[in-house]
Amino acid sequence: MKITGAQAFVECLREQKVDTVFGFPGGAVLSIYDALYDAKDITHVLTAHEQGATHAADGYARATGKVGVVIVTSGPGATNTVTGIATAYMDSVPIVVFTGQVASSLLGKDSFQEVDITGVTAPITKHNYIVKDAARLPDIIRKAFQIARTGRPGPVLVDIPKDVQNTVIEYQREEVNTDYVSEDTFHPHFYTKARIEKSVQEAAEAINRAEKPVIYAGGGVNISRANRELVAFAEKIKAPVACSLMGMGAFPSNHPYYMGMVGMHGTRFSNYAVSNCDLLIAIGARFSDRVVSKVEKFAPNATIIHIDIDPAEIGKNISTHIPVCGDVKKILQKLIDMVDEKKPNGWNKQIDEWKKAHPLKPRCPKGELTPQFVIEKLYQLTKGKAIICTEVGQNQMWAAQYYKFDEPRTFISSGGLGTMGYGLGAAIGACMGRPDRRVINVAGDGSFMMNSTELATVSRYNLPIIQLVLNNRALGMVRQWQRLFYNGRFSYTSLGPEVDFVKLADAYGITSFRINSNSEVEDTFKKALAMNQPVLIECIIHPDEMVYPMVPPGAAIDEIID
User: What is the band of 163 on the pLDDT scale with cuts at 50, 70, 90?
Assistant: very high
The CA distances from residue 228 to 328, 332, 360, 364, 407, in Å, are 12, 10, 27, 38, 10
Identify the bridge partners of residue 46 per DSSP, sorted by sequence position. Answer: 23
Greater confidence (178 vs 54) lies with 54
- Residue 254 phi/psi, 5-degree rounding, is -90, 5
Do the two domains 2-169 and 193-357 of this chain adopt the same fold? yes
pLDDT at residue 186 tops 60: no
| Burial degree of 40 (CB within 10 A; 0-12, 13-18, 19+) | exposed
Query: What is the Cβ-side half-sphere exposure of residue 117, based on CA atoms within 13 angstroms?
Result: 31
pLDDT digits (tens, 9 = 90+) for 364-411: 555 589 999 999 999 999 999 999 999 999 999 999 999 999 999 999
Supply the pTM of this predicted model: 0.96
Q: State yes or no: pLDDT of 188 exceeds 70.
A: no
Residue 46 has pLDDT above 90, yes or no: yes
What pLDDT does residue 409 have? 97
8 A C-beta contact, residue 129 and residue 140: yes
Does the domain at residues 193-357 carry the CATH identifier 3.40.50.1220? yes
CATH fold of 371-540 reads: Rossmann fold (3.40.50)
Question: Cβ contacts of residue 492 below 8 Å, gap of 6+?
Answer: none
Tell me what pLDDT residue 129 has. 98
Strand, coil or helix: what is 82? helix
Among 104-118, 152-166, 179-193, 370-384, the range scoring the smallest mean pLDDT is 179-193
Provide the 3-class DSSP secondary structure of residue 185: coil
pLDDT in tens, 532-543: 999 999 999 999
Centroid of chain to Cα 176: 26
Residue ranges of domains in the chain? 2-169, 193-357, 371-540
pLDDT at 189: 59
CATH number of 2-169: 3.40.50.970
**Interval 282-295 mean pLDDT:** 96
Report whether pLDDT(184) > 60. Answer: no
Q: What is the pLDDT of residue 367?
A: 55
The reported pLDDT for the residue numbered 196 is 87
* Residue 368 near residue 517 (C-beta atoms within 8 A): yes
* % the chain with pLDDT above 90: 94
Write out pLDDT tens, residues 478-530: 999 999 999 999 999 999 888 999 999 999 999 999 999 999 999 999 999 99
* Chain mean pLDDT for the chain: 95
CA separation for the pair 94, 100 (Å, rounded)? 20
Q: What is the rounded average pLDDT of the residues 353-364?
A: 85
Is the Cβ–Cβ distance between 415 and 392 less than 8 Å? Answer: no
**37-64: average pLDDT:** 98
pLDDT tens sequence across 226-235 = 999 999 999 9
Q: Please tell me the predicted confidence (pLDDT) of residue 193.
A: 81
Q: Are 169 and 135 within 8 A, CB to CB?
A: yes
**In contact, 26 and 72? CB cutoff 8 Å:** yes
User: Could you give phi then psi for residue 170, rounded to 5 degrees?
Assistant: -85, 120
Give residue 180's pLDDT. Answer: 74
Least confident of 190-199, 221-230, 247-256, 467-476: 190-199
Determine which of 171-180, 273-282, 348-357 has the lowest per-residue pLDDT on average: 171-180
Confidence band for 190, pLDDT divided at 50, 70 and 90: low
Which residues are CB-contacts of 390 (< 8 A; sequence separation ≥ 6)? Answer: 396, 399, 400, 411, 412, 413, 423, 441, 442, 443
Which positions are catalytic? 50, 112-113, 162, 477
